[in-house]
Amino acid sequence: MKYTVLSLFPQLLKPWAEEGLLGRAVKQGLISFALRDLRAYSTDRHRSVDDAPYGGGAGMIIQVDIAAKAIAEAKADTPEPAEVILLTPAGEPFTQQIAAELASKQHLVLLCGRYEGFDARLERYVSREISLGDYVLMGGEVAALALIEATARLLPGVLGDAESHAQDSFSTGLLDYPEYTRPPVFEGASVPEVLLSGHHAQIAAWRQEQALRRTLARRPDLLAHAPLSEAQRRLLAKLKD
């Protein structure tokens, strides 16, 4: 997977692309990054990329010709088809399902806004608009990073066996069950007995129940779409009583 990020502050993403699991994936050739400065596509000598909105109002708008040129060059960079994504609070809310869809692409071009955003005519050059959530960030870079992390970790080989994502919150449709490690007792709080029992079937059943309990208590909205087994449905009905 190649990630091209078009931003006024591409250097913000550099440490992410070099450290930790993403850095390792780059070194292994599993993913690659092109971090591009939108100013490089400016046509004037001040390297300006924005202008005042037609009709008046506060803030500055990033110009469509500059963004369209940056997108065209990003697409021309590699023969693989590119999915062009605009990060904006006006986009569809980002979810695990969208992450899984995007993880199957070969090239994601991520367009990060600053100021009041882009000229609306940019819509024609973008295949998807995605929001990190119902709040306004200072720019799209943090949203792009979230999208990069959520998709890259789904690619084969990016997580080692020890970091597998099969049991993640959301990939099962439920929140994760709680996990514990040493010490067995901390300030009076004990690790649940069953986890120390060595009884694998009981541990699996306990974890499944905890995942259901947690989801019911914290995110009951997820249960409507979670792919539950018959046994999980029965258990859920009991927990709701």
Per rule CB under 6 A, is residue 7 in the interface with ligand ADE? no
129-137, 202-210, 213-221, 228-236 -> range binding ligand ADE (CB under 6 A): 129-137
Compare residues 54 and 135 and give the one whose CB is closer to ligand ADE. Answer: 135
Q: For the window 137-166, what string marks contact with ligand ADE as x by the rule CB under 6 A? A: x-xx--x-----------------------
226-233 contacts: CB < 8 A, separation 24 or more? 226/172, 226/173, 226/174, 227/173, 228/173, 232/208
By the rule CB under 6 A, 136 interacts with ligand ADE = yes
Task: Respond yes or no: is residue 213 known to be catalytic.
Answer: no
Active site residue 89: yes
User: Would residue 176 show up in a list of annotated catalytic residues for this protein?
Assistant: no
Q: Is 134 within 8 Å of 93 (Cβ atoms)?
A: yes
Q: Which is nearer to ligand ADE, 25 or 102 (CB)?
A: 102
Please choose, out of 3-11, 85-93, 101-109, 154-162, the segment that lies near ligand ADE by the rule CB under 6 A.
85-93
Dihedral angle computed from the Cα positions of residues 165, 167, 170 and 174, in that order, rounded to the nearest 10 degrees: -170
Residue 130 CB neighbour total at 10 angstroms: 24
Could you give the string, one character per residue 195-224, with x where binding to ligand ADE holds by CB under 6 A and - elsewhere? ------------------------------
For the bound state, the minimum distance from the C-beta of residue 239 to ligand ADE, rounded and expressed in Å, comes to 34
Place of tokens 């789904």: 154
H or E stretch at 96? helix 96-103
Among 133, 157, 183, 192, indicate the residue that binds ligand ADE (CB under 6 A). 133
C-alpha distances in Å from residue 45, one per residue of 42, 49, 67, 157: 8, 11, 17, 45
Nearest to 86 by CA among 135, 47, 139, 35: 139
153 is catalytic: yes
Residues paired with 118 in a beta bridge: 62
Tokens of 117: 């955003």
Task: Rule CB under 6 A: say whether 131 interacts with ligand ADE.
Answer: yes
Tokens of 236: 């859920």
Closest-approach residue to ligand ADE (CB): 143
Cβ contacts of 53 within 8 Å, gap of 6 or more: 59, 60, 61, 116
The contacts of residue 183 (CB under 8 Å, 6+ apart) are: none
Decide whether 147 or 226 has the Cβ nearer to ligand ADE.
147
Nearer of residues 134 and 179 to ligand ADE, judged by Cβ: 134
Residue 138 CB, shortest distance to ligand ADE, in Å, is 7
Residues catalogued as catalytic: 89, 116, 153, 168
Binding residues (CB under 6 A) for ligand ADE: these are 87-89, 113, 131-133, 135-137, 139-140, 143
